[in-house]
Amino acid sequence: MNILQILPELNYGGVETGTVDLAKYLTAHNHKAVVVSKGGALVEILKASGGIHYALEVHKKSLFSMYRCIAALARIIRDEDIQIVHARSRVPAWIAYAACRITETPFITTCHGYYSRHLFTQVMGWGDCVIVPSQVIGRHMIDDFQVPVERIRLIPRSVDIQQFTFNPPEKKSHTEFIIAIIARITPLKGHRYFIEAIQKVYRTLPTIKVWVVGSAPKNKMHYKEDLELLTKRLGLSQVVEFLGARRDIPEILSKVNLMVMATTVHEAFGRVILEAQASGVPVVATKVGGVVDIIEDGVNGVLVPPGDPEGMAEAILKVLKDNALSAALAQNARVKILSQFPLEKMAEKTLEVYRERCFAKRILILKFSALGDMILSIPALKAIRKKFPPPSVITCLVGKDLAPVLHNCPYIDTLIVYDFKQRDKGILGLLRVGKELRKKAFDMVIDLQNNRKSHSMSALSCAPRRYGYANKKLSFLLNNTVKENELILGPLEHQFRILNMLGIELKDKKIELWPSKEDSHSVALFLESEWVNKAQPLVGIHCGSSKLWVTKRWPLEYIARLSENLALHDIRVVITGNQVDPGELRVLKSLTARSRPIIACGKTTINQLACLIKHCSVFVAADTAPLHIACGMGVPVVALFGPTDPKRHILSQEKVSLFYKGLSCQPCYKSQCNSTECMKQISVEEVEEAVMGLLNTRDLTKV
């Protein structure tokens, strides 16, 4: 794999050292390790291990500088054929995020701090995966930055055991105790409280020596001067020595009796604690942030409240005076480091995240209406799953009414239910859904809906790749489109023109449905209550259609006559549909008084309807969802087409008797019509003949 890490600089520090350590591991395991920073003392070490370094001004908070770096970083990504970009700080993360959008490269962040909530920091939660070094930081990113739990990856920092020699406390001097604090000199690191604690320790134990290791940033030099002045004022000039930034941390720790971490705010982790413990140095640390993931108080270290010089002094004296405690802390820490924090463990977990994002895609499929079209999309879902097997994650956004169809679908991993009639209604609802989609960090959107709303959702998801039709319905919001074909295509062929852009071919046209055992049991009880004889043929007739498509309805009196005629052949009829208008129901019952069909209108869910249709020997329906359900359940159908073109909407000619009169006005695709002559011309007699023909064919196949 080709990995690029980006951070402000490569001088000595926890983040910088971790970056170089990971780069060494990657190159040692035959991966390409590229690091982008402004440069620093660790660059030569990186290059010596086989890593590649590019110097860019990614440390500057200047918008102009950041803008220039975006184009430069995008070139590096392309030139080095980078597969993953890993950002480790905020300014570099903004630059990397933009460059990744341009190059369509997976983007990962690691949160090395307990960030405050403001716009500039939000980018650290935008990674396709967000790596956190501790439970505290993970909780912070979830609660305060609304990063979904499924995008969080907990990977503690590590220590290269080979660089630190374990030198237990009992082998060190107990006449002159060396106490060290190793940290950047900033107010957040608590140096002031540490020095005040040292004054109290010095009164009891005058044979101490204190090393302050670390430099102050240019904008904090006044703070360092204040600390030096405080040291003089407390009479500690002969005790406290400011060593500045040092490269020989392992050597320093080999001489230290105790290390103190005095941070006053939530520390992301505390790498220096691991380094001290790897060297056999007992640690006293403030109880903040990720420190509690490392130290169990009194077992492998001692925890004290932040900003409490008195408590810190007591803890220091306790450890230095008790040789047995000091030895136990060091030994227990060593055991934990070897089991939980070795470099190899961190590097392998990070590599797992890289593999996940490189090879496992997050795919969003948009298909939220209508029911019949959703059912016709099932072969597409199956093909997409075959192209992107687990661990790729496939999510489908569906309308509230359609969701039950996919509840048991094996080809998708998660459902997002879109309620555009109530909760998600209007522009505000659309924006709310868009916000939820962005949190999922999808790699691609496959738009099978192809209307203005779905194209808008595609854009709001911010997925790098968005596929659909160039149909002038805001399709400019997509970046991978196919033009409408002048040829008349079947429903699957039409959908698969989009999937062809992903290298997915139409090979399996079979529709599947997945009703539950409970659905099947409910329908069995319903039929039993209607005294259905299993030996008697059962024919289903769907009497309705969407209220928006009254032109698709076969006249009610035709349905009644067909029911009466089939009853003369000793065929039981079940009439399905939505909740029928009370007036129409009375008419239907009066017209079918002799045959007394089973009226199932409004009595089944979608999945129960599928089970009911499965019990039918033949199913009669217009161009509606139940027609496609019947095809999916393998039931022979008599299909009645009026305002729509069967070539565009019928899935297969197998076990289908199709009626389409081909009038001059057909197909009109009008939902309202004064005559509906196209449906009226389909006679009861010819439909009856088709039903009997399919029944006879079905009976012959059973023999």
pLDDT higher than threshold 90 for residue 277: yes
pLDDT computed for residue 652 by the predictor: 66
pLDDT higher than threshold 80 for residue 174: no
Q: Is the dihedral of CA 431, 435, 440, 444 positive or negative?
A: positive
Whose tokens are 């489908």? That residue is 396
How far apart CA 218 and CA 507 sit, in angstroms, is 65
pLDDT higher than threshold 60 for residue 423: yes
pLDDT higher than threshold 80 for residue 544: no
Residue 128 phi/psi, 5° resolution?
A: -60, -35
How far apart CA 404 and CA 398 sit, in angstroms, is 10
Q: Is 535 helix (H, G, I), strand (E, B) or coil?
A: coil
User: Which of 420, 377, 444, 372 minimizes the C-alpha distance to 625?
Assistant: 372
pLDDT higher than threshold 80 for residue 161: yes
pLDDT higher than threshold 70 for residue 200: yes
pLDDT band at 691 (very low <50, low <70, confident <90, very high): very high
Task: Give whichever of 160-164, 618-622, 696-700 has the largest mean pLDDT.
Answer: 618-622
pLDDT band at 219 (very low <50, low <70, confident <90, very high): confident
C-alpha count within 13 angstroms, C-beta hemisphere, residue 25: 19
Q: Which residues contact 280 (CB under 8 A, 6 or more apart)?
A: 166, 167, 168, 169, 330, 334
Q: Which amino acid is at 407?
A: H
pLDDT, tens digit, 9 for 90 and up, residues 430-443: 999 999 999 888 99
Length of the chain: 703
pLDDT computed for residue 550 by the predictor: 86
pLDDT over 90 percentage in the chain: 72
User: Which of 405, 354, 290 minimizes the C-alpha distance to 128?
Assistant: 354
pLDDT, tens digit, 9 for 90 and up, residues 581-622: 777 788 888 888 888 899 999 899 989 999 999 999 999 999
Q: Element (H or E) spanning 619, and its range?
A: strand 618-622
pLDDT higher than threshold 60 for residue 702: no
Which domains does the chain possess?
Answer: 2-154 (3.40.50.2000), 161-341 (3.40.50.2000), 362-502 (3.40.50.2000), 517-702 (3.40.50.2000)
Q: Which residues contact 381 (CB under 8 A, 6 or more apart)?
A: 365, 394, 396, 409, 411, 412
Q: What is the mean pLDDT of the chain?
A: 91
For the whole model, what pTM was predicted? 0.78
pLDDT computed for residue 701 by the predictor: 42
- Tell me if 644 sits within 8 A of 553, measured CB to CB: no
What average pLDDT does the segment 217-231 reach? 91
What average pLDDT does the segment 277-281 reach? 95
Q: In what order do the strands lie in the sheet with 152-154?
A: 52-55, 32-37, 2-6, 84-87, 107-110, 129-132, 152-154
pLDDT higher than threshold 80 for residue 548: no
pLDDT computed for residue 703 by the predictor: 30
pLDDT higher than threshold 60 for residue 413: yes
- Tell me if 586 sits within 8 A of 611, measured CB to CB: no
Q: Does residue 280 come out as left (phi exceeding 0), alpha (psi in the -120 to 50 range) or beta?
A: left
For 468-494, the three-class secondary structure string (H helix, E strand, C coil) is EEECCCCHHHCCEEEECCCCCCCHHHH
pLDDT, tens digit, 9 for 90 and up, residues 301-329: 999 999 999 999 999 999 999 999 999 99
pLDDT band at 653 (very low <50, low <70, confident <90, very high): low
pLDDT computed for residue 582 by the predictor: 78
pLDDT computed for residue 57 by the predictor: 95
pLDDT higher than threshold 80 for residue 87: yes
What average pLDDT does the segment 565-576 reach? 93
pLDDT higher than threshold 70 for residue 373: yes
pLDDT higher than threshold 90 for residue 457: yes
56-65, 89-98, 122-131, 578-587: lowest mean pLDDT where?
A: 578-587
The CA-based dihedral angle spanning residues 235, 239, 244, 246, taken in that order and rounded to the nearest 10 degrees: -170
Q: Which residues contact 167 (CB under 8 A, 6 or more apart)?
A: 254, 279, 280
pLDDT, tens digit, 9 for 90 and up, residues 483-523: 987 777 888 889 999 999 999 999 888 888 899 999 999 99
Q: Is the dihedral of CA 311, 315, 321, 324 positive or negative?
A: positive
pLDDT band at 700 (very low <50, low <70, confident <90, very high): very low
Residue 153 phi/psi, 5° resolution?
A: -125, 120
Exposure string over 108-119, b if 16+ CB within 10 A, otherwise e: bbbbbbbbeeee
Q: Which residues contact 28 (CB under 8 A, 6 or more apart)?
A: 49, 50
How far apart CA 267 and CA 699 sit, in angstroms, is 76
pLDDT over 70 percentage in the chain: 98
User: In 10 A of CB 466, how many CB atoms?
Assistant: 24
Alpha helices by DSSP H, listed for 234-296, are 249-255, 271-278, 291-294
pLDDT higher than threshold 90 for residue 650: no
pLDDT, tens digit, 9 for 90 and up, residues 20-35: 999 999 999 999 999 9
